[in-house]
Amino acid sequence: MIEQLIVLATSLIANTFSALAGGGAGLIQFPVLLFLGLPFSIALATHKIASVALGVGASMRYFREDFLQQKFALFMLLTGVPAVIFGSFTAIEIPDAIAKTALGFLTMSLGVYSVFQTQLGQTYTPKHQDKSGFIIGGLLLFLIGFLNGSLASGTGLFATILLVKWFGMDYKRAVAYTLVIVGLAWNGVGAITLALISEVKWAWIPVLLLGSFVGGYLGAHLAVLKGNLWIKRGYEIVTILVGLNLLR
């Protein structure tokens, strides 16, 4: 019972902040699963399955708003889903310590960059909507999708900043796409793939799903209610804390 309560509380807190900031739930939730004794592969598969509920909860809130364009959502699906499957079956050759350090510095740098770019993501100014822009953006989304399939989490944060910086979205729209497409579709595909090739801690799935769903809806509601500046600050806090956590 104590373990279940710890897992529920962790899931609720992690996914609320993730839905507000546009990613990062797994870098809070995933280490707790490891701390509670799950082997890496089982913890990863269990987390991925639970993370789908974050996308469901957030989607239920964002579908009430007019943020998502079907063509762009389809573009993210087509570029990301194959990469997620590929990443799930591919072992990264870089040693874990080096990978964590590099990912920590990169994640933290995104937050620091956003802090100093005061107007970043505050207005919706679409750009790179031509053929070459979509090709480059698609390749970057493919890379993020590959990392999504092969790493525990954190890739939603990269997707969010890509949508803001490259495609000119404001934070509110970028987070909406991240939570619906990455959180629901990409993570759903990754969860199915990992469930087929790895074990899952099914006893913890119900409370993880509950925490992810409620946290996803609550975080998305706060994002819609508070607007771009709150989301920007949430993104900066989460990325910097996540980066520091990886560098420990």
pLDDT at residue number 98: 67
pLDDT at residue number 92: 46
Identify whether the C-beta of residue 202 lies closer than 8 Å to the C-beta of residue 44: no
Sequence-distant (≥ 6) Cβ neighbours of residue 207 within 8 angstroms: 4, 7, 8, 11
CA angle, 207 then 212 then 214, to 5°: 95
List, for the chain, all residue ranges whose pLDDT scores fall below the cut of 50: 91-92
pLDDT at residue number 137: 95
pLDDT at residue number 24: 66
Q: Residue 66 CB: number of other CB atoms within 10 A?
A: 8
Q: Residue 70 CB: number of other CB atoms within 10 A?
A: 7
Q: What is the pTM of this model?
A: 0.78
pLDDT at residue number 203: 87
What domain range is 170 assigned to? 2-247
CA distances from 148 to 14, 108, 152, 240 (A): 17, 18, 7, 19
Which pair of structure tokens corresponds to residue 187?
């993570």
Based on the structure, what is the number of domains in the chain? 1
Alpha-carbon Rg for the chain in angstroms = 16
What are 122-180's pLDDT values in tens digits?
888 889 989 999 999 999 999 999 888 776 566 787 888 899 999 999 888 888 898 88
Sequence-distant (≥ 6) Cβ neighbours of residue 138 within 8 angstroms: 75, 79
pLDDT at residue number 134: 96
Residue with tokens 């500046």: 229
End-to-end Cα, the chain, rounded Å:
30
Rounded CA-CA distance 113/69 in Å is 28
